[in-house]
A and B are shown apart, each in its own frame.
Chain A
Amino acid sequence: MIQQNEDLKLLKQAREGDHTAFARIVEKYEPVVANTVIGMLGNTAEADDVGQEVFIRFYRALNDFRGDSGLGTYLTRIAINLSLNELKRKKRAVSLFTQGQQDAGYDDLSDQGREQEIKDTNEIVHSALNMLEPKFRSVVVLRLIQGYSTKETAEILDVPLGTVLSRLARAQKQLKKILETANL
């Protein structure tokens, strides 16, 4: 409740043109957006750009935020949609240059060079997540990393609850295999 009041106060100030208040919102919700965007795209320059774009879009449409959901959930929704768009864009770009090549499956994890890239937990999780299809990755990021309930995850992704539950089950099975291959 206190956090919501603080958010409303910052939003009011930001709407009146107070940049410091908006910068405070960015600082406060950066971890939420980072977990979503980096979880979806990996720790890349594109992820940083998409993260910035999330806040810029929010800034441009500050008056559209009615407060029906929490600010974190609202920003997560923007972040997941922009990340999925970025993944589609990248997929299109890659398919133009690598026609005929198959996407690397999770079985490639044991390939030379790959294991060496895995140095700490975050990198392992990155590598594992990157091997999931975006639709599975998104439920893992929202439910298992961000900690949203299955109902909230369904609302953010705009899919039925049953879809979230089945995707979660399949994603976890795949993740388990991926992480076993990585000898975790």
Chain B
Amino acid sequence: MDNNNTYDWLYASFDRELTSGQKAELEKALAEDPDLRKEKQDLQEVRSLLKTTSFRFQKGFAGRVMKRIKEEGGGVVEMDVSSQMINLFRKIAMAGVAAIVILLLSIYLTSGTLNKNSVLGVDSFSDDNLVSYLLYEDIGE
């Protein structure tokens, strides 16, 4: 049995599953080798020391963070450009749809119908006089 391997497996055994063969060899080595047992014990102590370690910032940390946020004009939450564009277009689209709905509703309420003439606001529209409308000429005179 390679001595280096058993030490490597010992270290690895804390962080990953060993193969059944590795596990068996490690257990055998642990039973026979007092140095390896000592290494395991030391390792467990190191890990347990680290596990119980807990660091904290000086008192008032949250206050210091919030103060800096306010000092830096923290009212504004930055967004990435794509999110900003998506939000902007969504608002524009919703405003457009709302305007169209209101317009159609008001036409319907005043004219009682939503046909082409009432939507365009003329009494009798035909494609022939479209150019005249576009040129602001009087129709029917």
Closest to B83 in A: A63
Task: Say yes or no for B35: interface residue by CB 8 A criterion.
Answer: no
Partner of B66 from the list A19, A43, A169 (CB cut-off 8 Å) is A19
Asked whether any CB of chain A lies closer than 8 Å to the CB of B122, the reply is no
Range, interface on chain A = 35 or more
Chain A 126-153 per-residue mask, 1 if CB under 8 angstroms from chain B, else 0: 0000000000000010011101001000
Contact A144 B66 (CB under 8 A): no
**Interface window among A68-76, A81-89, A95-103, A171-179:** A171-179
CB–CB A34/B12 < 8 A: no
B10 to chain A, nearest CB (A): 9
Interface residues of A in 154-184 (CB under 8 A from B): 165, 168-169, 172-173, 175-176, 179-180, 184
Instruction: Say whether, besides A30-B61, A150-B16, A145 and B53 are in contact (CB < 8 Å).
Output: yes
Contact assessment for B49 and A121 in the assembled complex, using a CB-CB cutoff below 8 Å: yes
Which residues in A have their C-beta under 8 angstroms from that of B45? 184
The secondary structure that dominates the A interface is: helix
Whether A15 lies near B77 (C-beta < 8 A) is yes
Whether a CB of chain B sits under 8 angstroms from the CB of A56 is: yes
Roughly how many angstroms separate A19 CA and B58 CA in the complex, as a whole number?
A: 21
Q: Mark B53-95, 1 if CB is under 8 A from A, else 0.
A: 1111110011011101110101101111001000000000000
Q: Determine the distance from Cα of A140 to Cα of B14 in the docked complex, in whole angstroms.
A: 13
Q: A52-B64, A179-B49 are in contact. Are A38 and B55 (CB under 8 A)?
A: yes
State the Cβ distance, A1 to closest chain B Cβ, in Å: 25
| A105 adjacent to chain B (CB < 8 Å) | no
User: A26–B75 Cα gap in the complex (Å)?
Assistant: 16
On whether the beta carbons of B15 and A27 are closer than 8 Å, the reply is no
Q: A31-B56, A56-B65, A150-B16 are in contact. Are A125 and B49 (CB under 8 A)?
A: yes
A-B contact count (CB 8 A): 117
Q: Is B31 an interface residue (CB 8 A)?
A: no
A176 and B46 form a contact (CB under 8 A) = yes
The answer to the question of B8 belonging to the interface, with a C-beta cut-off of 8 Å to chain A, is yes
Contact B77 A63 (CB under 8 A): yes
* Contacting pair B55 A43 (CB below 8 A): yes
A172 in contact with B46 (CB, 8 Å): yes
Known: A17-B75, A122-B55. A52 touches B15 (CB 8 A): no
18 sampled A-B residue pairs with Cβ under 8 A: A19-B66, A23-B66, A26-B62, A26-B65, A35-B54, A52-B64, A52-B65, A55-B69, A60-B78, A62-B77, A63-B77, A64-B80, A122-B54, A145-B50, A150-B15, A168-B15, A169-B11, A176-B42
List chain A positions with a Cβ less than 8 A from chain B: 14-15, 17, 19, 22-23, 26-27, 30-31, 34-35, 37-39, 43, 47-48, 51-52, 55-56, 59-64, 121-122, 124-125, 140, 143-145, 147, 150, 165, 168-169, 172-173, 175-176, 179-180, 184
User: Which residue numbers of B lie inside 8 Å of A, CB to CB?
Assistant: 8, 11-12, 15-16, 42-43, 45-47, 49-58, 61-62, 64-66, 68-70, 72, 74-75, 77-80, 83
